[in-house]
């Protein structure tokens, strides 16, 4: 069987994607110019920056630093143009023929409701609700406060027909996986994105004795280092949700091998953040080609055939 016969097409919440690989909300998806670059790339979707009600400049520089070869710490503080801009961009971006994914991050339940309603009336195909941004000072993670998460889902479910998803933080307690899975099923959440960067990590430059990011130096860790944590979360939710909810796997996808590992764990598609930040849009092409090679090597003809096929020793 040649590679030309192997497809990496997939779907999220019934929305078809022409490949398994797309960008993650965060790097290089804030301005219209950046979004058009994604439209011209081999990313299977255009995932927009997590939007807030009002535009934000974000945290002061420096707020991004490299860790090792394939990792980053960042304390961006959600710099974005405000949700109304992204609602407007969604119509313009349809010219690329790709799926468009809106992402929102509110500072109150009321803000989430306003933004969900607006994106429900827009040209996006999916709406990702970010409940896991790890670097907003003084703001607790809704994704870790299950009472707040229930309240948010109560308010945002049923506001339109476009599929709603949750961008989740990492969990390391099986009881938390179980609780979140129950809420996701109860409220008809269509997809989950896991995981966001791991918040409140600290990197120190030993030669200057200084933190590498501003303020108190606490920042979100992303990239290859967090991949084992991301895989564990994807696998846990794959087993608990039983195929009823789609899963975007995020965290350390740098090549076809890592994308294949997320596929084995049960992810329906992967989002690429750090590798895109550290390189360029050619990463989507490279990762997808590598995934085709891995599928061919293991004798699979599609991502659906390989999905969840993790073996235990």
Q: Give the integer Cα–Cα distance in Å for 228 and 234.
A: 10
Which pLDDT score is estimated for 1?
38
The 10s digit of each residue's pLDDT in 187-242 is 999 999 999 999 999 999 999 999 999 989 999 999 999 999 999 999 999 999 99
Could you tell me if residue 95 is left (phi over 0), alpha (psi between -120 and 50 degrees) or otherwise beta?
alpha
Instruction: Give 1 or 298, the one with higher predicted confidence.
Output: 298
Q: How confident is the model at residue 138 (pLDDT cuts 50, 70, 90)?
A: low
194 is a catalytic site residue: no
The 10s digit of each residue's pLDDT in 55-87 is 999 999 999 999 999 999 999 999 999 999 999
Query: 279-284 contacts: CB < 8 A, separation 24 or more?
Result: 281/37, 281/38, 281/40, 281/41, 281/42, 281/43, 282/41, 283/254, 284/19, 284/21, 284/22, 284/23, 284/41, 284/42, 284/43, 284/44
Which pLDDT score is estimated for 140?
75
The 10s digit of each residue's pLDDT in 236-266 is 999 999 999 999 999 999 999 999 999 999 9
pTM: predicted TM-score of the whole model, two decimal places: 0.96
Q: Which of 22, 133, 194, 283 is catalytic?
A: 133
Among candidates 269, 221, 284, which has minimal Cα distance to 29? 284
Q: How confident is the model at residue 134 (pLDDT cuts 50, 70, 90)?
A: low
Please state the rounded mean pLDDT for residues 165-184: 98
Q: Give the integer Cα–Cα distance in Å for 234 and 142.
A: 19
Are the C-beta atoms of 278 and 70 separated by less than 8 Å? yes
How high does pLDDT run on average in the chain? 95
CATH 3.20.20.70 applies to domain 3-58+78-197+222-306:
yes
Provide the angle, in degrees to the nearest 10, between the axes of the packed helices 174-186 and 146-156. Answer: 20
Residue 4 has pLDDT above 70, yes or no: no
| Least confident window among 1-15, 101-115, 201-215 | 1-15
Which pLDDT score is estimated for 5?
84
């Amino acid at each position: 069987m040649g590679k030309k016969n192997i497809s990496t097409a997939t779907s999220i919440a019934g929305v078809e994607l022409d490949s398994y690989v797309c960008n993650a909300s965060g790097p290089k998806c804030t301005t219209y110019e950046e979004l058009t670059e994604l439209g011209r790339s081999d990313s299977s979707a255009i995932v927009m920056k997590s939007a807030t009600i009002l535009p934000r400049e974000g945290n002061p520089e420096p707020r991004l630093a490299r860790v090792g070869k394939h990792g980053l710490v960042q304390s961006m503080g959600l710099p974005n143009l405000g949700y109304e801009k992204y609602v407007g961009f969604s119509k313009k971006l349809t010219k690329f023929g790709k799926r468009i994914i809106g992402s929102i991050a509110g500072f109150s339940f009321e803000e989430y409701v306003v933004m969900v309603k607006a994106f429900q009336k827009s040209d996006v195909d999916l709406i990702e609700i970010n409940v896991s941004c790890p670097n907003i000072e003084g703001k607790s993670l809704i994704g870790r406060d299950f009472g707040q998460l229930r309240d948010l889902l109560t308010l945002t479910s049923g506001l339109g027909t476009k599929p709603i998803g949750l961008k989740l933080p990492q969990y390391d307690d099986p009881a938390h996986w179980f609780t979140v899975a129950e809420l996701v099923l109860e409220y008809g959440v269509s997809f989950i994105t896991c995981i966001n960067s791991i918040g409140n990590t600290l990197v120190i430059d030993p030669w200057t004795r200084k933190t590498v990011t501003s303020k108190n130096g606490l920042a979100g860790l992303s990239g290859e280092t967090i991949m084992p944590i991301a895989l564990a979360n994807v696998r846990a939710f794959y087993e608990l949700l039983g195929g009823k909810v789609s899963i975007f796997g995020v965290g350390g996808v740098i090549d076809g091998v890592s994308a294949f590992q997320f596929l084995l764990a049960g992810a329906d598609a992967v989002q690429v953040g750090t590798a895109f930040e550290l390189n360029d849009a050619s990463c989507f092409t490279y990762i997808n080609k590598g995934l085709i090679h891995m599928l061919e090597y293991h004798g699979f003809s599609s991502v659906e055939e390989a999905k969840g096929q993790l073996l235990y020793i």
